[in-house]
């Protein structure tokens, strides 16, 4: 199957690309997703897929770097943990609706590719993340959009 491209949002105060870089094997499970559309995207991911690592709700909003999908989606154990802020009653009953996927650090950009730049770059008009009101935390990205963002990150 062809490689797919994604964008995943996180608040760097909670989990940043620098945090991912410091993890053992530079890999971490992307858990805590509690939106069905986002979860469906997670389940569509395959090892080797690439993703844009997005920093949101912070000083420098935009693409902070790159990571790769390191494995298949599996049930998210935080949903079954009553002490977790991501706890979901349904998971305790044995039907965990939520998934997580391991992601591996690939690259930290020298500078975040800012939202404002994405908005004014030709070819990115259809990119989901620049659309008003788009809150989805896991989004598909087209190969064309991915390539354009990579170019913006150079220099």
Partner DNA sequence: GCCAACGTTGGC
CB 108 within 8 A of CB 116: no
Q: How far apart are CA 18 and CA 5, in angstroms?
A: 21
Contacting range for DNA; rule: CB under 7 A; set: 73-81, 101-109, 135-143, 146-154: 135-143
Q: Is 9 one of the binding residues for DNA (CB under 7 A)?
A: yes
Q: Residues 42, 61, 63, 152: which binds DNA (CB under 7 A)? A: 61
Q: Residues 18, 19, 22, 35: which binds DNA (CB under 7 A)? A: 35
Contacting range for DNA; rule: CB under 7 A; set: 12-20, 103-111, 115-123, 141-149: 115-123
Q: Is 41 one of the binding residues for DNA (CB under 7 A)?
A: no
Q: Residues 26, 56, 68, 142: which binds DNA (CB under 7 A)? A: 56
CA distances from 66 to 74, 90, 96, 122, 154 (A): 22, 33, 29, 21, 13
CB 76 within 8 A of CB 16: no
Q: Is 150 one of the binding residues for DNA (CB under 7 A)?
A: no
Task: List residues near DNA by CB under 7 A.
Answer: 9, 34-37, 54, 56-57, 61, 115-116, 119, 129, 132-137
């Amino acid at each position: 199957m062809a490689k797919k491209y994604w964008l995943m949002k996180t608040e760097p105060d909670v989990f940043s690309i620098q945090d991912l870089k410091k993890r053992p094997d530079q890999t971490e499970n992307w858990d805590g997703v509690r939106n069905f559309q986002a979860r469906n995207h997670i389940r569509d991911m395959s090892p080797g897929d690439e993703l844009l690592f997005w920093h949101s709700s912070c000083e420098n909003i935009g693409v902070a770097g790159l990571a790769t999908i390191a494995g298949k989606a599996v049930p998210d154990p935080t949903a079954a943990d009553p002490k977790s802020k991501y706890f979901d009653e349904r998971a305790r009953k044995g039907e965990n609706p939520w998934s997580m996927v391991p992601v591996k650090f690939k690259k930290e950009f020298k500078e975040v590719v800012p939202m404002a730049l994405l908005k004014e770059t030709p070819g990115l008009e259809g990119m989901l993340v620049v659309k008003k009101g788009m809150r989805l935390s896991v989004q598909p990205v087209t190969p064309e959009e991915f390539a354009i963002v990579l170019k913006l990150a150079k220099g």
